[in-house]
Structure 1
Amino acid sequence: MTKRQSKLRDRRIVPAGSIPDADLQALAAKLRYEGIATHKLHPSDYGFIPPVNPRPTKSPCDELRPLLRAEAATLFRQGVLAGMVSLFGADGTPKYVWAVDDDGEVYEAKTKPPDTTYHGYRLGEDEPEMRRYIRGEWSKRCP
C-alpha cells in the first residue's frame, strides 16, 4: 500500500466554527457517500459489480470489520455536520471529509471536485500523525 501525504495543504480540516451551521446542513444535503469497490474487502450491502475489487495499493475501509453502507453514510454525514471537511474548491465542495467511529477508528472520504459523490477508507497505522490530528479535532467538535 502506498502512503498518503498527510502534509498536503488540502488535507487539513477547516477551522472549527468557520462554516455556519446552516451552510453545513446544506452541504450535508448536497454531498453523498457511495463507497467504491477498490476500498472494500467485504461487499456487504453496497451492491458492487463485481462484488469487490480491492487493490493492494488502496486502504480498505472494512479492513478491521464489515462496515455497512448505512453506517458509512452516517459517519460521513456526521463529519460534514461537524465541519470535519477540507477547504472548499472553486466549485464550493470540499475534497475531503473525516469522521471517527465509536471504536476510535479514523475514516477519510474523498472525491474529485466538482463531483459530490464520495468514497471512504480507514486511515491506517501508517499515518499516526493524521489519525491523531483527526481524533483531536473530532473530540473537540463531537464531544
Structure 2
Amino acid sequence: MAFKRRQRTYNPKRRLVMEIDFSAQADWQNQVSYGGNPEHKRNPGDFGLTPPSDPRPGKMLCDDTGIITRQAALSLLQKGLSAGLYSSRMGHGDYWPQNIWAVTETGLPMEAQLENPAKGTYHGYPMPEQDPFREEVLKRWEQRDAHV
C-alpha cells in the first residue's frame, strides 16, 4: 500500500493589521522577545535552546537565512512591528499579535509566531516560497520602504 504525502496547507486566517495602534506598537517594540525553536536551527548559536539544535526534516532553517544570533532575530521582530507587519489576530490574552512578519536584508520574508503570550516571546522561521501570504508580506514591506 502506497502512502500519499499530505500537501502542506497554510493558515488562511493570517491577516496583516490594517489600522496600526501606534501606542501598543511602541510598547510591543520595547517588550518583545525572541525565544527560538530548536526545530528551525542547525546550529544553536546564542539562542540557548534545549536541545541545543534539533532540526526536523522538512522544516525551514533560520541558519540558511543568515539569522544566527538572538539579537538579529529580535531586531527583525522589532522592524516588523515598526513597519506594521503584524497580525490583526491577537494571541491568547489579547495583548500580543499572533504573528509578526519581516524581511531580511537579502529579501527573504520571515514569519514569527507567538509562543509565550505572558512574556511576548516569539519564534520565527522563513516563509516557504509556496506560501501565498508571502507576497502580501513582501508587498507591505516594499510599501514601508517607499514611505521611509
- Give the TM-score, by structure 2 length: 0.80
Provide the residue aligned with 1:125 in structure 2: 129
Any unmatched runs of 5+ in structure 1?
Answer: none
Asked if residue 105 in structure 1 is aligned to residue 108 in structure 2, the reply is: yes
Q: What is the aligned-residue RMSD (CA, Å)?
A: 2.2
Q: Distance in 2 between matches of 1:60 and 1:40?
A: 5
Whether the 8 Å contact between 1:107 and 1:121 is mirrored in structure 2 is yes
Higher relative contact order (CA 8 A, sep 6+): 1
Structure with the greater alpha carbon radius of gyration? 2
SS at match of 2:8: coil
Say how many residue pairs are matched.
138
Kept in 2, the 8 Å contact 1:75–1:100? The answer is yes
String of CA shifts for 1:123-143, please: whole Å, max 9, x gaps.
12232x222211100111234
Deviates more, 1:79-88 or 1:20-29: 20-29
1: distance between equivalents of 2:7 and 2:33? Answer: 26
Question: Under a length normalisation based on structure 1, what TM-score does the superposition of the two structures give?
Answer: 0.83
Task: Give the distance between the partners of 1:57 and 1:84, measured in 2 at CA.
Answer: 26
Q: Which segment is superposed worse, 101-110 or 64-73? A: 64-73
Name the residue aligned to 1:137.
140
Q: Which runs of 5+ in 2 are unaligned?
A: 1-5
